[in-house]
A and B are shown apart, each in its own frame.
Chain A
Amino acid sequence: QVHLQQWGAGLLKPSETLSLTCAVYGGSFSDYSWNWIRQSPEKGLEWIAEIDHRGATSYNPSLKSRFTVSVDTSKNQFSLRARSVTAADTATYFCARARRQFGGIVAMSLTYYHYMDVWSKGTTVTVSS
């Protein structure tokens, strides 16, 4: 049974760098994509970024370029970094596995869609001076 365990600093000052890591225990690492999502009372659930085992990434364009995801396949881990945090980054951060579904052939290319099926317990990150 797959289990996601995350860790990282929970209290940051404005302008510091947020750094979280998520370890995957059990199951395949390469058959899924791996995501970071955050939740705050102000914005609700907000997807941040996704990465696969090859290092291919996608990001929420509304979060600009402050976030970076990376993967370490030797440890079955993936990480999130965000530079120059502000109070608006205060939230509970979750890592989650995304399962792939075949979506057909579009423009002669195989298309897949992913939905999040396993989540970590989450880490509360507070940004305060």
Chain B
Amino acid sequence: DIPVTQSPSTLSASVGDRVTITCRASESISTWLAWYQQKPGTAPKLLIYKASTLESGVPSRFSGGGSGTEFILTISNLQPDDFATYYCQQYKSSYTFGQGTKLEIK
């Protein structure tokens, strides 16, 4: 298992803001990292894979970066639909998820 840790746990922001979520792996995972968005009562939705590749159909205001042990998810120009919980997941060795970052409206 390779634990991954997200920060912050909660993030308050306004429509139009730019926010960043961080994910740290306990050891190097190269770029084998994905980001998901989850809204209450629904399944996680894939946003980004291989640390920075945007999944088809995902708005370009979402971007990812990083390699090794430190990764970021950036959401620019926040829209009302973006307020949700975000998870990172490493897939270099089995699969482990971060504990989630809840993005709330300020």
List residues of A whose CB falls within 8 A of some B CB.
35, 37, 44-47, 58, 60-62, 94, 96, 99, 101, 103, 113-122
Q: Are B96 and A47 in contact (CB under 8 A)?
A: yes
Residues of B4-29 at the interface with A, using a CB-CB cut-off of 8 Å, are none
Q: Are B1 and A62 in contact (CB under 8 A)?
A: yes
A58 to B93, CA, bound (A): 11
> Would you give 21 A-B contacts (Cβ < 8 Å), ordered by A?
A44-B87, A44-B97, A44-B99, A45-B87, A45-B89, A46-B97, A47-B95, A61-B1, A62-B1, A99-B49, A103-B32, A113-B92, A115-B32, A115-B46, A115-B89, A116-B95, A117-B46, A118-B46, A119-B45, A121-B42, A121-B43
List residues of B whose CB falls within 8 A of some A CB.
1, 32, 34, 42-46, 49-50, 55, 87, 89, 91-92, 94-97, 99-100
A94 to B95, CA, bound (A): 14
Given A58-B94, A121-B43, A122-B43: A115 touches B99 (CB 8 Å cut-off): no
Given A60-B94, A101-B50: A113 touches B43 (CB 8 Å cut-off): no
Given A45-B87, A101-B50, A113-B32: A119 touches B100 (CB 8 Å cut-off): no
Residues of B close to A116: CB separation below 8 A: 34, 44, 46, 89, 95
Shortest Cβ distance from residue A36 to the other chain B in the assembled complex, whole angstroms: 11
Given A94-B43, A103-B32, A122-B43: A117 touches B49 (CB 8 Å cut-off): yes
